[in-house]
Structure 1
């Protein structure tokens, strides 16, 4: 007996939701798996199953990532740094308001994840200068970036996806400024709340970086110098041949030979009598090396950040903190499995995981999202770390790595893309692709760099979930769900139906993800609106706003995850600030939609 298409689709849907919630696989892997199952079960054709990769929303999102990368790579966002430093002042409310205005305005046109990545080190430096705890600034940074993203249709990938779904459902794409009459009041009200209330609600945490690496990572007891003595059996061996880094839980950070500092890579450097090795390791391991290898342990290094930084600059070496992002493929692997030192030509000295500090057996620690790695290596190694999508280096980019002479060209290109699309001279898909080519032709981005600017996990997530929407439509699942909602809501006013959809979508966003929520809820919202005789566009806008605004948890949205550890937050800090904001918008956004676009 064959299973009815609606039942089969619902089984696949709920299985997908369970996989997303419990993270059995990465979200993009789950999405592609769903597509394969849908094709095998005959719920979609092979052409429909792969249509997500050619969908205009998917391609537009990819193009916007590249354009954002062009702005970041040229330092186009760095120009606001001086404004923040010059007029930020010492009043915390004024600082949050100014930061919010700048971040929100930029996030309306540039991917907000890229904006937060650039502003993190800027705000960190500003907080240190003004002696303000980062916990007072970083959640407002993330939330204002999220709020800025719903000022225009191109502010987030979620908005672009919703616009593409609207076209697919027969209601046409959204204009760039269609949501602006709602987005601006929402942004202003959200900014006022954050300006006057977040500083009172947020804890005054000791920032991870405020007092130097010695205090924050306890490196005084874990960074030492050992000297090769005449009795040592290491003389004449390379570091690789000696196998001391494999046998003992230590990392050699540099070798000093005749007062010359040799940084990574060190594996093939031959050890000589009198060489001094700067190592990270516990006292127990150092004593064991002393006994077995005939070395002497010198006095502990006082791991003073300023002194160490000067020394690093002198020898073209550096130390920085690196954040494991929620989409990183490094999650679940160990440093040893990844061959981290060989892969990135840098050494992990310590790992901070929330309030837990890991300094021993680092090679066997399985990485988790939000882990903060203290990494040491040559400056050129950090250029590679800055361009990977797996990690986020929590520091300002070196001036020499930015094409600052191209910054204004990149800004003009973005402005042109937005203007042409807003005037409907060309569709946003076409204007954004033209912008990508101009970024390459003008030298703002090199051809090989465009792949590193794209969040491929989001691209595959969109491409994999779009066929699920097709299957739900073809099988009648959307209609079935909508009819049940309609039958339960015959006596509910239209405004409260909008409130219901905002609430459910916002809940899905916190549990799943913003893009998954809009893909699942928007077609159902359209079916319900048509069944009630309401305006489907109003329902789509409510779902889009709810999916884009994630404030309750640090894992519901990428920017929240990015500030989680650097701000020294606890999980519930996001809930305390974000729950009132979500509750307020649950009623405000449907009200604004009703007033402006009707029900």
Structure 2
């Protein structure tokens, strides 16, 4: 217990990085149990307990889910869904967040929490990059909505099934899928204003690409025969353009094939507009050459930003006269001219843009060609390059992800001796199968899998598993339960429910959901018998407490999944999660007491 409290304080203070605290925790447990082993164990058993988290199924599941999420991102598989939600976010950020929270809540009632968050996570990261709320302000509220929705049905989480199963083994009747759903729905109504209006204000803006997102690039749009612009007036397409994109010059009448019009926008804005309008900002032959070279080499096409230095050969030249495409096989998608007004540029009159020292070029090509261009023509490569999505794999990646989710939540249809039935598998197995298929089909490449994984999350998961094991094996959880039972006889029924829920919440936020369910359910059952209270509300208090895992990142695997994407610190979970825990415990305790006449 002293170790658990010390680790919690170290995480909360944030003076040492999460990785260092996690590794120190594992080391202390390993050394401590070697010299002072638990009863009836050998010194080496402590090593297995301390380091067992690195091979635990929960960590393997998280890594596999991160890999599948990476596959969706690099293939652009979820862009249609992101664009659909983006239209709502454009109407109002608050409306967009509210609809998103309702969507997450509804899905997690019928599908396991983890697959729901895995599906939604890359969509909301993409929305943040397109100008919606920063990911760090939306992911924790989104995760909380998923967890509350998962609490509402017995199939929402595996922990719910565990509690219901233990209760049935203790002699209680089987609970149906929607047995206690009305109670959770009422509690959700109370909690949603906090998730929607308060939580985002308590979270920091951890966006790392703010400066880059403001950089605007000048380029010329080529109207091709396949373009959506052909034959249309400007007023017909202006509402379809993203906020980060604009036409610097407009056609006198309708758009015609072959026109070249000056445009400007951020990198993301140019990408969205060109995909929507089906135009080109670089010659088609060089783009085809880049794609062909990428298929032959098996490498990803990349987009980099490069600064023109004073020694560069291309200063004073236009893109056409510089011969960049012919010499290197790369294409310049746009030019950013710092500290210049775009309307004063000669290009605003339709002339070619001349390159100058300090200009930033947005360049697309294969890695080797990009390096050769930068080295030969004296350009400085900036950090933050992006891989161009492999859209040819988008359908495959989406099918793999949805197949893995369906396998874990709905099941695979089978016909056997007993007739038709659905075979469901653990999320760990379906996630591993999905990750393997992502590799086999080329949606994710082996040499890029490191980008999908987070070292901070990996060591934090391993440390949390070790802490959970030692809390259970040392008898600390049992001791806490006995201490709790001694004092409950002096509390009113609603207080008993709240105390049991808080006890289980404490376990689930510092040990694991399974530990909390395994320890808490029998304790609640015995307390009900000793105090002469109905058993079912106390068992439900345990079930609800197991799901109130908002206060720490180690409480549940979905908390871990959002940690890297939101760039969260331990204290961000505490700041937003503790008030939500207090709100939910109070509301659920009162609702249980009222529902069961206590």
Larger radius of gyration: 2
2:407 corresponds to 1:404: no
**Shift of residue 36, structure 1, vs aligned partner:** 0.7
User: Greater CA deviation, 178-187 or 441-450?
Assistant: 178-187
2:141 corresponds to 1:139: no
8 Å Cα contact 2:66/2:452 also seen in 1: yes
Give, in whole Å, the separation in 1 of the partners of 2:462 and 2:200. Answer: 42
CA distance 1:502–1:81, shift in 2 (3 Å): same
Partner of 2:546: 544
**1:470-489: CA deviation from partner (whole Å, max 9, x where unpaired):** 44444432222222211111
8 Å Cα contact 2:552/2:573 also seen in 1: no
Q: Secondary structure at the match of 1:492?
A: coil
Alignment of 1:5-84 (within 5 A): 10-23=1-14, 24=16, 26=19, 27-40=21-34, 41-43=36-38, 45=42, 46-47=44-45, 48-49=48-49, 50-84=51-85
CA distance 1:557–1:425, shift in 2 (3 Å): closer
2:489 corresponds to 1:490: yes
Gap runs ≥5 in structure 2:
217-305, 318-336, 346-352, 366-370, 375-379, 413-420, 529-534, 554-558
Give, in whole Å, the separation in 1 of the partners of 2:595 and 2:513. Answer: 21
Alignment of 1:297-316 (within 5 A): 301-302=338-339, 312=360, 314-316=362-364
Q: Secondary structure at the match of 1:259?
A: coil
CA distance 1:138–1:468, shift in 2 (3 Å): closer
TM-score between the two structures when normalised by the length of structure 1: 0.53
Partner of 1:86: 87
**Shift of residue 546, structure 1, vs aligned partner:** 1.8
2:530 corresponds to 1:525: no
Q: Secondary structure at the match of 2:481?
A: helix
8 Å Cα contact 1:68/1:111 also seen in 2: no
**1:379-435: CA deviation from partner (whole Å, max 9, x where unpaired):** 7x444xxxxxxxxxxxxxx44588424243234323333222895533443333333
8 Å Cα contact 2:409/2:424 also seen in 1: no
CA distance 1:82–1:187, shift in 2 (3 Å): farther
2:312 corresponds to 1:257: yes
Partner of 1:415: 406
8 Å Cα contact 2:525/2:539 also seen in 1: no
**Shift of residue 184, structure 1, vs aligned partner:** 6.2
Q: Secondary structure at the match of 1:42?
A: coil
Give, in whole Å, the separation in 2 of the partners of 1:142 and 1:261. Answer: 49
**1:61-116: CA deviation from partner (whole Å, max 9, x where unpaired):** 44333333333343333222221233446345433322334455677444748844
Gap runs ≥5 in structure 1:
1-9, 128-133, 216-251, 263-299, 318-341, 346-374, 384-397, 566-570
8 Å Cα contact 2:136/2:204 also seen in 1: no
**Shift of residue 438, structure 1, vs aligned partner:** 3.1
Q: Secondary structure at the match of 2:410?
A: helix
CA distance 1:29–1:147, shift in 2 (3 Å): same
Partner of 2:440: 441
**Shift of residue 42, structure 1, vs aligned partner:** 0.8
Partner of 1:236: none
**1:178-215: CA deviation from partner (whole Å, max 9, x where unpaired):** 999476665565445555x559978999x995997489
TM-score between the two structures when normalised by the length of structure 2: 0.53
Give, in whole Å, the separation in 2 of the partners of 1:54 and 1:176. Answer: 35
**Shift of residue 29, structure 1, vs aligned partner:** 0.9
Q: Secondary structure at the match of 2:549?
A: helix
CA distance 1:102–1:254, shift in 2 (3 Å): farther
